[in-house]
Structure 1
Amino acid sequence: METLRLVLQIVFILISVGLTVIVLMQEGKSAGLGSISGISDTYWGKNKGRSMEGALVKATKFLAVGFIALSIVLNLNF
């Protein structure tokens, strides 16, 4: 059991570091001056989910769920 707990703790640390890095790589949600001229309705604004930013958002959600699940599992006394 101690080996399983050690492996889960190592995975938890890797997820924590990965989540931190991915959150820091994301751009801010402020539209800046582009919203004044209507640039948010361009091709880039409509297809943001297929871009690198969209992939970072999906990875953030995936790692956040893993982080929460592992934190609950590691808190159990087994």
Structure 2
Amino acid sequence: MDKMIFDVLLVAMLIVSAVLVISILMQPSKQDGAADAFSGGSGELFERRKARGFEAVMQRFTAITIGIWLLLGFMLVVLSTK
């Protein structure tokens, strides 16, 4: 029984990992601020801008996916020690 649960969790971990990579790659880039920081620009590196629209949805989705990924990883570790 434990082997079946472990296999299901492992497959879920692989699927969540793929979704996580895709969600990270879909997030809009913020290269404008990084270029200003290295060239001595206006100092926008440490300013926090509130995410809106698609960017906010992607940030929340990525955070939730990371939480699920960590939970699955913890569950796999616990099952593998039995």
Asked whether the two chains share a fold, i.e. TM above 0.5, the reply is yes
Partners of 1:75 and 1:29 in 2: how far apart?
35
**Residues 57-78 of structure 1: CA deviation (Å, up to 9, x unaligned):** 1110001011111111111213
1:13 maps to amino acid: L
- State the aligned residue count: 66
1:29-44 aligned at under 5 Å gives the runs 29-31=30-32
> Which residue matches 2:60?
58
Q: TM-score, normalised by structure 2?
A: 0.68
Q: Which runs of 5+ in 2 are unaligned?
A: 34-41, 43-48
> Which residue matches 2:71?
69
- Report the secondary structure of 2:28's partner residue: coil
> Which residue matches 1:17?
18
Q: Which moved more, 1:23-32 or 1:13-22?
A: 23-32
Partners of 1:56 and 1:31 in 2: how far apart?
19
Q: Which runs of 5+ in 1 are unaligned?
A: 37-44
Aligned-pair Cα RMSD in Å: 2.1
Misfit runs of 4+, over 2 Å:
29-32
The alpha carbon displacement at 1:30 in A equals 3.7
1:10 maps to amino acid: V
Q: TM-score, normalised by structure 1?
A: 0.71
Q: Percent identity?
A: 22
The alpha carbon displacement at 1:22 in A equals 0.4
Partners of 2:61 and 2:76 in 1: how far apart?
22
Partners of 2:25 and 2:19 in 1: how far apart?
10
2:20 matches 1:2: no
